Structure 1
Amino acid sequence: MTDEEVADTMRQLLLALRVYGASDLHLSSNAPAFIRKNLLLERIDPEWVMPDADVVRLNMALLTEEQREQFRRSQDMNIGLQIGKARFRTALMFHKDGMSGAYRLVPDKIMSLEELGFLPADAKNIRRLLDYNNGLILVTGPLGSGKTTTLASMIEVANNTREDHVITVEDPIEIVQKSKGCQITQREIGTCTKSYHAALKGALREDPDIIVIGEMHDLETIENAITASETGHLVIGTLHTCDAGNTLNRVLDVFPPAQQPQIRAMTAGSLRGIVCQRLVPAANGGLTIAYELLINTVAVANLISEGKLYQLKATMQIGSKAGMCTIDQNLFEKFKAGHISADTALAYMRDTSVIDQIKKYVAVEEAKKLVAAKAAAKKKK
């Protein structure tokens, strides 16, 4: 096959992801090609083991000559590929058997918070966080939990309701945002700036109102984000953590012990809220998000400043009036709303008190159905 034919084959493979309802394509040397659909891996053809030469040609087919040279030098690359209107987050690397490429399909439209799976009351609370002119909002979750999609939805809320300058720093740019009420400036690591730290430092001189950080993963980036949130900017960032307590521990623990009391005080004053999310199977066969929501109340701020983060969960459990919920409480509410099944809710729950509640709820609902069925049978007689 010619290089153009290989490139066309690669385009067809990538565009077929959306048709098939898959989220990822993986091409790796001396291994079968596989996709990810609804969190599960599926081999395209178990008998088809891809030779290294074919994998290299396919993975290199859509790169520019400059990108190919850069990849050969660094042996790792993260870029955004555009094919027509479809975008793909692309990660390339070398391993012991040759080359590997992972392609993540980016949503073709920006969905509302409710469309993503947030319950209406929780979506309202998240929108309220975006009304602040300064402070720190964190969106967290494991890899592949939909953080980028939630981040894009939040930016869209600001874009429709505010008139501000928004600067985003991403690696790579995944969802392209068009300026509406806000002027949106999107910067990509490697193409537009060298690092998150350098981009954030430069952003402070570019008259931003809102700064969005694709990943807060080192001390300098986290420190600059907290400082920016204290100096009149609304900062929205992401972390790879699984709950609110771990998120705050991650933020605080990167600092030297002597600096932590000061950072705790700064975080307690600047934090607006934390959204921790993960993807779970939906009742309709697709995926939806389960999440917990922390709102920085006076009680939460005191726990942060005093270093009593182990008490956060108890505060969140009784903080529903302030808009808070734990992951277990949210799973219960999403089950009652019909978004997920009882089996799915129970599979992800850890809080025994909430597990007992959902089991009791299911039993009561089953009893109601049985009574209704008996009443209907009597009417027929």
Structure 2
Amino acid sequence: MALNYTMDDLLRALVEHGGSDLHIRVGLPPLVRIRGDLTPLNYPPLTPEDAEELMFSLMNEERKRKFLETNELDMAYSVKDVARFRVNALRQQGYVGGVMRCIPYEIKTLEQLGLPPVIKDIVLRPRGLVLVTGPTGSGKTTTLAAMIRYINETTAKHIITIEDPIEFVHEDIKSIVQQREVHEDTHSFQNALKHVLRQAPDVILVGELRDLETIHLAITAAETGHLVFGTLHTTDAAQTVDRAIDVFPPDQQAQIRMQLSVTILAIICQTLLPTADRQSRIAAFEIMIATPAIRSLIREGKTHQLPTEIQQGGELGMQALDGHLVQLLVSGKVTYEEALLKCGNPKEFEMRVEKAFSQRGLPLPTQMTSQAPASGQAGQQRK
């Protein structure tokens, strides 16, 4: 029996509900993720035929062929006057399914994301490497889009992005922006990066630094006088540096460590958490700026000392994740319970919160006083 609604109807409902993701899975009604929680839409559970009809409606014949060959497909899709969506089609237990993530047409500013002014200085540097990291769904693409927007609005540059898929679409403002989509405009990240230097770019954005060759090409591009942006799925600056170096064979790591110490400008690690009113989500950031001391630690392989340098680098624009979480908590933007789930060291975080609230003459958060024993248990589980 044919469906009496379309995928576009579901995607409109996703946006109307203020959701971030639409999930299509056989045996369940269409689900939308709203402020982190999955909620069913008012439709019957999907049959295998329903799920195929919905997912295949997004694909042209070429994309459908690729999906049937590989059982995986990443692509972008737009609903006019509604939003763009990042689509991941898949098979699970033999059935077709997928997840559609909403990408608003509006590109946010750096200020709207809560990034400090030092980031504006960083993204206008003529050369170097800027890494934006965090788990899947933490807003890395949104942050990168805001950075490209700022460059585009303030300077006359040639910007080339390599993405899989293209999510935010940039119009030329002061700069020329060329956006290349993997599998559509180029075979792979590596292939695009091998040729990008011949295209006379000033700024290069690599959607994901997935492997050794891509990381090496990105570092080389930064080393040869370009401003390069990239992402990794790491949670802090120290882990990011280690991950970038550890993908290389041992006999190459000393050279890569040296190159990275010279080219790195900043590492921005982020996570998302619900706002206190649970009406939206807000990003918390760890920000590492490449000072001479930071570069020396990277060069010498002493990445375990990076958190201390970040903690002490506040006057230079650096901030620790836990410190930013405390700021968000003091300002009433997030709850203690949610901040505790995202912090790196629960016991130390608790002491920071007590100190910050005491200095301002504020009462401690109610969740903190009522759940003090639980916070210690949470910390033990994370270790």
The 5-angstrom pairing of residues 123-162 of structure 1 reads 124-162=117-155
Displacement after TM superposition at 1:347 (Å): 3.3
Deviation digits for residues 262-288 of structure 1 (CA, Å, limit 9, x no counterpart): 111100000000100010111232100
What residue number does 1:112 align with? 109
Q: Shift of the alpha carbon at 1:62?
A: 2.7
Aligned equivalent of 2:39, options 34, 42, 56 = 42
Query: What is the CA-CA distance between 1:318 and the residue it aligns to?
Result: 0.7
Which has more radius of gyration? 1
**Corresponding residue SS for 1:186:** strand
TM-score for the superposition, normalised by structure 1:
0.90
In the other structure, the counterpart of 2:370 is none
| Match for residue 258 of structure 2 among 260, 265, 278 | 265
> Deviation per CA, 1:110-165, whole angstroms, max 9, x where unpaired?
111221233xxx2x111110121000000000000001111100000100111110
Letter aligned with residue 314 of structure 2:
S
Aligned partners of 1:147, 1:199: CA distance in 2, in Å? 21
**Deviation, structure 1 residue 99:** 0.6
CA contact (8 A) 1:349 1:355 kept: no
TM-superposed CA distance for 1:350, in Å, is: 3.2
Q: Which aligned pairs between 1:1-381 and structure 2 lie closer than 5 A?
A: 9-44=6-41, 48-85=44-81, 86-118=83-115, 122=116, 124-285=117-278, 286-351=280-345, 352-362=347-357, 364-366=361-363
Of residues 65-74 and 278-287 in structure 1, the stretch that sits farther from structure 2 once superposed is 65-74
Alignment partners' CA distance in 1, 2:343 and 2:73 = 37
CA distance in structure 2 between the partners assigned to 1:245 and 1:346 by the alignment: 21
Structure 2: tracts of 5 or more residues without a match: 365-383
Q: Over aligned residues, Cα RMSD in angstroms?
A: 1.7
Unpaired segments ≥5 residues, structure 1: 368-381
- Report the Cα distance in structure 2 between the residues aligned to 1:67 and 1:262, rounded to whole angstroms: 41
User: Which whole-Å CA distance do the structure 2 matches of 1:15 and 1:201 have between them?
Assistant: 39
1:146–1:279 CA contact under 8 A, matched in 2: yes
Please give the alpha-carbon distance, in whole angstroms, between the structure 1 residues aligned to 2:35 and 2:260: 36
Residues 326 and 356 in structure 2, CA contact (< 8 A), matched pair in contact too: no
The one-letter code matched in structure 2 to 1:362 is: F
- What secondary structure sits across from 2:191 in the alignment? helix
Contact kept in structure 2, 1:23 and 1:36, CA below 8 Å: yes
**C-alpha displacement at 1:97, in angstroms?**
3.7
User: In 2, Cα distance between the equivalents of 1:108 and 1:179?
Assistant: 15
Distance of 2:60 and 2:349 partners within structure 1? 53
After TM superposition, give the deviation of residue 19 of structure 1 in Å: 0.7
More displaced stretch, 126-135 vs 93-102: 93-102
CA distance in 2 between counterparts of 1:73 and 1:83 reads 27
Q: Aligned equivalents of 1:281 and 1:54: distance in 2?
A: 33
Deviation, 1:82, is 1.2
State the number of aligned residues: 359
Fraction of identical pairs, as percent: 39
Quick one: distance in 1 between partners of 2:11 and 2:256?
Answer: 44
Q: Secondary structure in 2 aligned to 1:366?
A: coil
Normalising by structure 2, we get a TM-score of 0.90
Check conservation: 1:107, 1:149, Cα contact below 8 A: no
SS in 2 for 1:365: coil
- Could you tell me how far apart the structure 2 residues matched to 1:131 and 1:95 are? 44
- Answer yes or no: is the 8 Å Cα contact 2:165–2:181 preserved in 1: yes
CA distance in 2, matches of 1:249, 1:160: 34
